[in-house]
Amino acid sequence: MKLKYFVLLPLFFTFSFIFSQSDKHNPWIIELGESVDNPLTNKEISFIKSALGEEAYYRIINVKALEQNIKDILRNRVQILTKRYFPYEKFPKLSSITNSNSSQIFNKYNFNPLFYDFDFESFKSQIYRVDGTDYIINIIPKRLK
């Protein structure tokens, strides 16, 4: 009888390790800032409508995950920094990114990143120089929880 228990004991330990929780990251869970819980501002609404259209705006606000993703992009993941321009630097130019509104003149306070085809799904930082200026656009990568 004791031999049976002795044989079953390693089996129970094996199952406990197999079904225990893992500390690996879930690749589907993205860390969002707390600011995504606040409602969209009028400026953000106009950014979405002008870049994506009225119909897309209503689809976005009806799907909470999409709305939070757009808020995260507009509030937390796009930075406009100032760094002195040097002609020999290697930053890619903002003009090299496809722009759905190419006639738009850069304005630091009204820059709409949704007009550009930035890779917002990337897990790597992206930096672009606004052509011939001291401004740099920094796209902050997604972070996993």
Q: What is the mean pLDDT of the chain?
A: 82
pLDDT tens readout for residues 6-35? 565 565 555 555 555 555 545 557 777 778
Query: 128's torsion region: left (phi>0), alpha (psi -120 to 50) or beta?
Result: beta
Percent of the chain with pLDDT over 70: 77
pLDDT of amino acid 59: 94
- Using CA atoms, how far apart are residues 66 and 44, in angstroms rounded to an integer? 14
pLDDT of amino acid 77: 92
Average confidence (pLDDT) over 113-123: 90
DSSP code of residue 116? B
Q: CA angle at residue 95 from 90 to 99, to 5 degrees? A: 140
pTM of the predicted protein model: 0.74
